Chain A
Amino acid sequence: MIALAMALAFADPVAHREPGLDGYAVHIGTPEAGAAVWFLDDFGLAVGLRNDLGAVELSAVERRQLTGEGAWGLDLHGAFGAGIGLVRPWPYLTTTLALHGGFRGDKFAWTIGPAAPIAYTFVGGWRARFPLLVETFIGPRIGKVRLMARGAAGTVLSPGLAPSFAAQAGLSVTIRR
């Protein structure tokens, strides 16, 4: 089933990757902060801003449950979007693939998996970033509200540059429709 979502995510669309998201999400963290809204079960849109004001972005998101029945399972997230760098105003495209496995219960959720929020531009020469992160979400659900903490770490590969290290953390609130 295809759903439509709208989100304030970031250059790396984080909010839409929160486990079991089926409504609205706000995410604050580093290097990103934002929010997301899902209108349908597994498809949406997301817009976002890096908190260093480096870029803004709009993404469409698709989520598929690969395995699992009920709370336990494995989800594949795919997002495609466009953004603009705010320092040197250049447009760029983004693609995110993320694989999340874990438990998404009524009162608690914990997932972990790899995510690769890639961005690339052809303006002023070809440039790209290829982050490879391992990220985890964990937190309780109280009624319609779910509180999630996110942690992620990994490396960012960028052609022509030495790899850089990425450590990310954030908090989010999601509200079920």
Chain B
Amino acid sequence: MANGHCDRAELIGDTEFARPSRPHLRSAIRGRMRFLLLLAPLAACTPLPTELLAEDASASGADGERGPLGADLYTFMAQARVTERMHYEVVVPVGGEAPYPLVTMVHGGFVDTERYRWLTAHLASRGYVVVAAEHPANLAITQIGNSEVALSDFERRPLADRLDADAPAAVMGHSLGGVIAAMTWNTDGRYAGLGLLASFPAAGTAVETRSDGSVLSLWGSEDGGDEEEAMHAVERFDTDANFARIDGMNHYAWTDDASASELGRDGVATRPDDETRPDALRVLDTWLDAVLYEDAGAASALSAGQFANVEWNP
């Protein structure tokens, strides 16, 4: 099943569906019936991908920079909670040697997953499969389990062979998505890493009860949110948890196409996104490599905490 597209076996199980050998009316009807039977599961098939990034062998893959792998976007539908339909995106690395570790991304409140594709493509180019579920009204709080539904659905698809189910995984979220990511991390041992992007866990999430794993909180110095609470939240973790303040970055620098309304209630970024994002990604990449690839050099860099334009555990 090249590129994870549907094959006949996935569609129809063990049943063999042959084209009618004679132009006979009964055979023709039978053939159409079989065709109709094939239609129903089509929604479960792997659609054609959209290329977000082409492979680039010249890419250094240094922390903060894209990797040499390409990034393909797939959009799937899943059957959730028996009767519901939900969409989710998966961005997979192209080229290189699969399988790759999982990063689950949870979008912020009223921000759709498309606006994080710059980030998910970046991560895929560095060798991570990124799964991002959608939610009603773009509010992850309404259906906290959607990431789990998306991952469960994805794992039964042929494309899941790109995913290393045995490797450590990370869950991260932006803003409200970070609140949900923290809840997920707190209860799902599959996630070794929790990435908080301009976010912090809710007071009711007992993050202090988990003593393993690693947490990274990235916060822009110009974020319109409550930085003090974000810093204090990091202290609640009973595991390795670090706080990084990105100079000049605001809340919506994590998203593309921020609206005037969003920017109006955010702080004013003092540096452009194309400067602050690489600074933030440098930390994020280092952390992911340390946690998911268990890269000793990355772990050492984290311990040193020396990142340009970043205050480390201020």
Contacts and interface: CB of A to CB of B under 8 A. Distances in A.
Contacts, number: 80
A66 interface: no
B143 A87 contact: no
B26 interface: no
Contacts of A161: 81, 144-145, 148-149
Nearest to B76: A87
Interface stretch (B37-45, B54-62, B93-101, B222-230): B37-45
A131 to B, nearest CB: 9
Contact of B82 (A52, A119, A160, A164): A119
Contacts of A11: 82-84
Interface in A78-128: 83, 85-90, 92, 119-121, 127-128
B309 interface: no
B79 A85 contact: yes
A52 B79 contact: no
Interface residues of B, number: 22
A121 B143 contact: no
Contact of A50 (B41, B83, B141, B145): B83
B142 A165 contact: yes
A85 B143 contact: no
A164 B145 contact: yes
A53 interface: yes
Contacts of A128: 82
A87 B77 contact: yes
Interface residues of A, number: 31
B83 A129 contact: yes
The listed residue with most A CB atoms (<10 A of its CB), out of B41, B82, B85, B149, is: B82
Contacts of B78: 87-88
A89 B141 contact: no
A97 to B, nearest CB: 17
Given A54-B84, A88-B44, A89-B41, A158 B145 contact: yes
A55 interface: yes
B85 A162 contact: no
B148 A160 contact: yes
A164 B144 CA distance: 6
Interface string A52-79: 1111010000000000000000000000
Nearest to A50: B83
B302 interface: no
B43 A86 contact: yes
Interface in A15-71: 31, 50, 52-55, 57
B119 interface: no
B227 to A, nearest CB: 28
Interface string B66-89: 000000000001111111110000
The listed residue with most A CB atoms (<10 A of its CB), out of B78, B79, B142, B148, is: B79
A165 B143 contact: yes
A55 B85 CA distance: 8
A156 interface: yes
10 contacts: A11-B82, A50-B85, A55-B84, A57-B83, A129-B84, A156-B81, A158-B82, A162-B148, A164-B143, A164-B144
Given A89-B40, A164-B81, A165-B141, 9 more contacts: A55-B84, A83-B83, A86-B43, A86-B85, A87-B85, A88-B153, A89-B41, A119-B83, A129-B83
Which 8 pairs, one residue from A and one from B, show the smallest C-beta to C-beta distance? A161-B145, A11-B83, A162-B144, A54-B85, A55-B83, A88-B79, A164-B143, A87-B79
